[in-house]
């Protein structure tokens, strides 16, 4: 394997659930050594979310490949001592524990940056490390609500959450890029930087377009199900065989091709109800009724082919089974096999391809799998490791 960009970087992470594990897994993909610190009594609680992947959690195997797991009782002096030694030898420390937890341990961000000027410290919080909501708990669905996403997602009759943990994923992505930026700054200045990311502000950043639309347009975009709130036609249509095809018109050229090449209705191009996108949005119901009646003449495959020939963006609605076998992923060889507790699993390559670099795709760790080896690296004798284990510290 070619040298990985982050080879030689050690990350210690007090992480749980999604946001921090997503950030550190991406660091591990690029070659960083990620030491995941877990509780002896069950570890990262995401391990227990489900048992669908050879007895392991689907969340955990997705987020934790290529990491090492050490268990530590951080309510004990011995456990805190080991954590301090790990952090002292690390390049990056990441944590997303509850509000104030690391400060109570003596490992708050300010204390660590003072004690270790070269250390990059990343803390992921719910609503920020200061401010009026700094002590409030934050879970993904709750943040989706506070950031306004729920007000936009669903049908006019009912709100719906996003189907994946978008607030956590957004925060983990910003934490990852922030850590990379801090490591680059350290390479040029010799000093680490603190990186602070909140789930709320990460998702609020993603809400930029509808926020601007509401602030300057005078009204919030409406909930439109799988349709685009401010572009039409853009959404699902049912073909004659019952299959669902989504189409998206982004400009007037595409609108013209849709009318002439697919719908066979060139008269619609200059119809004042549909001449510009704002007109089409204002008369969405009438427009979609016209389109729906015409596309019933096609089966789903024929409709998709007609749209593709006309250079109109389109998609079929994949199930998870269909995604797993999607021809784009298969033909581009995006899958790898990695070991995991209970049996090998398929894992998707990271989406950012770096020329000449094959990402590391190593095993998902069992709870505490690397405890003894890591403690030995820190200079603990076999006798001392056995004592720590018998005392329930590891």
Active-site residues, by number, are 228
**Residue entry with tokens 């530590």:** 72
The two structure tokens encoding residue 120? 């990059």
Give dist(CA 293, CA 309) in Å, integer: 20
Give dist(CA 34, CA 29) in Å, integer: 10
Assign 3-state DSSP to the chain and report helix, strand, coil percentages, each to 5: 40, 15, 45
369 phi/psi in degrees, rounded to 5: -60, -30
Which helix or strand (DSSP H or E) is residue 213 part of? helix 208-217
What residues pair up with 338 in beta bridges, in sequence order?
Answer: 345
Give dist(CA 294, CA 57) in Å, integer: 45
Q: Which of 194, 179, 198, 204 is nearest to 131 (CA)?
A: 198
255 phi/psi in degrees, rounded to 5: -60, -45
Give dist(CA 250, CA 33) in Å, integer: 44
Give dist(CA 389, CA 320) in Å, integer: 42
Length of the chain in residues, anyone? 394
Asked if residues 112 and 93 have their Cβ atoms less than 8 Å apart, the reply is yes
Give dist(CA 194, CA 190) in Å, integer: 14
Asked if residues 51 and 45 have their Cβ atoms less than 8 Å apart, the reply is no
Give dist(CA 19, CA 125) in Å, integer: 9
For strands 33-38 and 120-125, give the pairing: unpaired
The two structure tokens encoding residue 181? 């930026």
Give dist(CA 321, CA 342) in Å, integer: 21
């Amino acid at each position: 394997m070619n040298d990985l960009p982050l080879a030689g970087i050690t990350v210690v992470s007090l992480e749980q659930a999604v946001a921090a594990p997503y950030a550190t897994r991406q660091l591990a993909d690029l070659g960083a050594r990620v030491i995941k610190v877990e509780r002896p009594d069950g570890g990262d609680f995401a391990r227990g979310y489900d048992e669908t992947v050879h007895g392991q959690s689907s969340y955990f195997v997705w987020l934790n490949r290529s990491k090492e797991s050490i268990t530590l009782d951080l309510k004990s002096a011995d456990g805190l001592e080991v954590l301090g030694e790990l952090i002292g030898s690390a390049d990056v420390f990441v944590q997303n524990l509850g509000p104030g937890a690391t400060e109570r341990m003596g490992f708050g961000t300010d204390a660590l940056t003072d004690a270790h000027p070269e250390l990059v410290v990343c803390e992921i919080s719910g609503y920020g490390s200061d401010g009026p909501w700094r002590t409030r708990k934050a879970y993904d669905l709750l943040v989706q609500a506070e950031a306004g996403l729920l007000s936009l997602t669903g049908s006019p009759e009912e709100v719906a959450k996003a189907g994946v943990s978008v607030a956590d994923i957004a925060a983990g992505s910003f934490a990852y890029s922030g850590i990379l930026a801090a490591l680059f700054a350290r390479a040029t200045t010799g000093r680490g930087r603190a990186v602070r990311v909140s789930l709320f502000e990460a998702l609020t950043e993603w809400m930029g377009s509808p926020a601007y639309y509401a602030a300057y347009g005078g009204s919030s975009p409406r909930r439109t199900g799988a349709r685009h709130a401010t572009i039409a036609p853009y959404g699902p249509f049912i073909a004659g065989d019952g299959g669902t095809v989504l189409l998206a018109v982004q400009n007037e050229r595409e609108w013209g091709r849709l009318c002439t090449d697919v719908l066979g209705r060139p008269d619609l191009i200059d119809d004042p109800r549909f001449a510009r996108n704002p007109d089409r949005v204002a008369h969405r119901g009438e427009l979609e009724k016209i389109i729906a009646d015409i596309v019933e003449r096609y089966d789903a495959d024929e409709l998709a082919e007609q749209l593709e020939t006309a250079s109109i963006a389109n998609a079929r609605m994949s199930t998870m089974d269909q995604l797993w076998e999607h021809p784009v992923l298969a033909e581009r060889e995006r899958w790898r096999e990695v070991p995991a507790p209970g049996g090998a699993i398929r894992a998707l390559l990271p989406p950012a391809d770096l020329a000449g670099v094959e990402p590391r795709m190593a095993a998902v760790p069992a709870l505490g799998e690397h405890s003894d080896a890591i403690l030995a690296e820190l200079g603990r004798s076999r006798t001392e490791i056995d004592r720590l284990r018998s005392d329930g510290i590891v």
